[in-house]
Amino acid sequence: MYGARRACFAAPMTEFSEAERAYLKSQRLGRLATVDPHGQPQANPVGFFPQDDGTILIGGYAMGRTKKWRNLQQNPKVALVVDDLASLRPWKVRGVEIRGEAELLTGPHELGPHFSEELIRIHPRRIHSWGLED
* Predicted TM-score (pTM) of this structure: 0.88
Q: Which CATH architecture has domain 5-130?
A: Roll (2.30)
pLDDT at 133: 82
The answer, yes or no, to whether the previous bond of 90 is cis (omega within 30 of 0) is: yes
- What pLDDT does residue 10 have? 54
Q: What is the dihedral of CA 123, 45, 74, 37, to 10 degrees?
A: -140
Domain ranges for the chain, please list them: 5-130
Give the model's pLDDT for residue 45. 95
pLDDT of 107 reads 83
Give every CB contact of residue 35 below 8 A, 6+ residues apart in sequence: 41, 42, 71, 75, 77
DSSP 64: G
Q: Which of 125, 120, 98 is nearest to 13 (CA)?
A: 125
What's residue 31's pLDDT?
98
Tally Cβ neighbours within 10 Å of residue 87.
Answer: 9
Average pLDDT of adjacent 10-residue blocks, the chain of 134 residues: 51 86 96 96 95 94 94 97 95 97 90 88 97 83
